């Protein structure tokens, strides 16, 4: 308990000099209590390296606080602590170096050009996603190569068909697919991420900070509640991998899409039926098929399709 007391005192000294709202003060007080309890439960780690572990914990908690609101920050405290406990016990994050050569070849096979630095950013994204996914359900895949092929590579397929600049809105951004991946490949795009799940928004804010991405903003809202704001901002490109059908993507994005703007649809094996179902919406919103690209992901038999629709002025 003496160790706990000194740690809490250290934390109080670190934070008490800062101007704080009542809500933030409460969050910090609860942080101190949670940290004390967790120290007692994991004495083996703190006996070995209490100061180092505490500094890591404090640094990550301060980062989480910097990029999210106090309620979500408070919710993330035990998660961050347990991630650091794992690392202190020798559970190391895997490195991206062994896959870099593979993914570089994958990109070349699909006609996608990225710099070595951009591929390294994908590696940071991958490692961070896997770290968070151990404690929070961000994606349903845990295998590294499956994440590379089925999520990262799939998100990059439309990149050669997109403009390099403009405003992009991603509906249901989840863990950042496709928008964070597109942002890495097209850094000049300005992006709004629309995601209703607060924990996923915390991850998005964290990874944006880690990758030092600019002009990209997560919104913890439903698209229906922010449509007018997006229309005023001006949307040149709309994407979504979360929506179950092309018709839903069109219905939600067309009201705020600029004339001349693009909608990117990720279609599976039923692509013909999805396009047929969307025929009335294509006519209603004056959409034309700008580009289609059929492809098969590594290790998969079924063909997928990217369809890029363009909204025509009336």
Q: What is the pLDDT confidence band of residue 15, given thresholds at 50, 70 and 90?
A: very low
pLDDT of residue 243: 81
Of 131, 148, 165, the one marking the end of a domain is 148
The DSSP symbol for 261 reads E
Of 138 and 4, the structure prediction assigns the larger pLDDT to 138
Same domain for 214 and 67, yes or no, is no
DSSP characters over 143-207? -HHHIIIIIIIHHHTTGGGS-SSEEEEEES-TTTTTHHHHHHH-TTEEEEEE---HHHHHHHHHH
Domain end (from 88, 108, 125): 88
Number of domains in the chain: 3
Question: Are residue 164 and residue 140 in the same domain, yes or no?
Answer: no
Residues 163 and 298 in one domain: yes
What pLDDT is attached to residue 11? 45
165 or 36, higher pLDDT: 165
pLDDT digits (tens, 9 = 90+) for 97-132: 678 888 999 999 999 999 999 999 999 899 889 988
What whole-number percentage of the chain has pLDDT above 70? Answer: 69
Asked if residue 270 and residue 210 are part of one domain, the reply reads yes
More confident residue, 194 or 132: 194
CATH number at residue 268: 3.40.50.150
Across the strands, what pairs with 307?
265, 292
pLDDT tens, residue by residue, 135-189? 889 999 999 999 999 999 999 999 999 999 999 999 999 999 999 999 999 999 9
Residue range 267-285: average pLDDT? 92
Where is pLDDT greater, at 144 or 26?
A: 144
Spatial distance between the Cα atoms of 143 and 152, rounded to a whole number of angstroms:
13
Is the pLDDT confidence value at 49 over 80? no
Mean pLDDT, the chain, as a whole number?
81
Question: Which residues contact residue 99 at a Cβ distance below 8 angstroms, ignoring those fewer than 6 apart?
Answer: 123, 126, 144, 145, 148
Residues 142 and 157 in one domain: no
Q: Does one domain contain both 210 and 268?
A: yes
Do residues 157 and 271 share a domain? Answer: yes
Give residue 52's domain range: 2-88
User: Which residue did the predictor score with more confidence, 210 or 306?
Assistant: 306
pTM higher than 0.85: no
Domain shared by 237 and 129, yes or no: no
If asked whether residues 218 and 180 sit together in one domain, one would say yes
Tell me the pLDDT band of 91, cut-offs 50, 70 and 90: very low
Q: How many angstroms separate the CA atoms of 179 and 173, rounded?
A: 7
60-64, 86-90, 229-233: segment of lowest average pLDDT: 86-90
Q: What is the pLDDT of residue 99?
A: 84
Q: How far apart, in whole angstroms, are the C-alpha atoms of residue 82 and residue 253? A: 39
Q: What is the pLDDT of residue 270?
A: 86
Beta partners for 264? 239, 308
What is the pLDDT, as a whole number, of residue 3?
42
pLDDT the model gives residue 16 = 44
Same domain, yes or no: 273 and 171: yes
Residue 7 confidence (pLDDT):
42
Same domain, 274 and 165: yes
User: By percentage, how much of the chain surpasses pLDDT 90?
Assistant: 58
Q: Which residue has the higher pLDDT, 32 or 4?
A: 32
Planar angle of CA 57, 61, 62, nearest 5 degrees: 115
Q: Within this chain, do residues 83 and 115 fall inside the same structural domain, yes or no?
A: no
């Amino acid at each position: 308990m003496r160790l706990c007391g000194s740690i809490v005192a250290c934390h109080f000294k670190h934070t008490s000099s800062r101007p704080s709202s009542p809500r933030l003060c409460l969050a910090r007080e609860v942080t101190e209590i949670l940290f004390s309890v967790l120290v007692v439960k994991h004495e083996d780690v703190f006996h070995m390296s209490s100061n180092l572990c505490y500094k890591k914990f404090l640094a990550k908690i301060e980062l989480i606080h910097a990029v999210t609101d106090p309620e979500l920050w408070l919710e993330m405290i035990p998660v961050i602590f347990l991630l650091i406990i794992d690392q202190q016990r020798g559970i190391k994050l895997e490195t991206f170096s062994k896959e870099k050569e593979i993914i570089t070849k994958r990109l070349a096979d699909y006609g996608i050009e990225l710099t070595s630095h951009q591929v390294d950013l994908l590696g940071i994204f991958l490692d961070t996603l896997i770290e968070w996914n151990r404690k929070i359900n961000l994606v349903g895949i845990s295998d590294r190569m499956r994440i590379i092929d089925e999520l990262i590579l799939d998100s990059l397929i439309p990149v050669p068909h997109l403009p390099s600049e403009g405003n992009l809105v991603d509906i249901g951004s989840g863990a950042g697919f496709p928008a964070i991946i597109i942002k890495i490949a097209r850094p000049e795009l300005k992006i709004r991420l629309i995601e209703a799940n607060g924990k996923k928004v915390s991850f998005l804010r964290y990874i944006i900070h880690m990758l030092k991405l600019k002009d990209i903003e997560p919104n913890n809202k439903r698209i229906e509640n922010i449509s007018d704001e997006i229309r005023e901002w001006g949307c040149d490109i709309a994407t979504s991998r979360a929506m179950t059908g092309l018709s839903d993507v069109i219905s939600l994005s067309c009201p705020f899409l600029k004339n001349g703007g693009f909608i990117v649809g990720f279609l599976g094996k039923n692509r013909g039926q999805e396009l047929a179902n969307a025929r009335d919406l294509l006519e209603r919103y004056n959409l034309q098929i700008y580009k289609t690209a059929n492809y098969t992901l590594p290790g998969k038999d079924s063909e997928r399709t990217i369809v890029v629709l363009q909204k025509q002025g009336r």
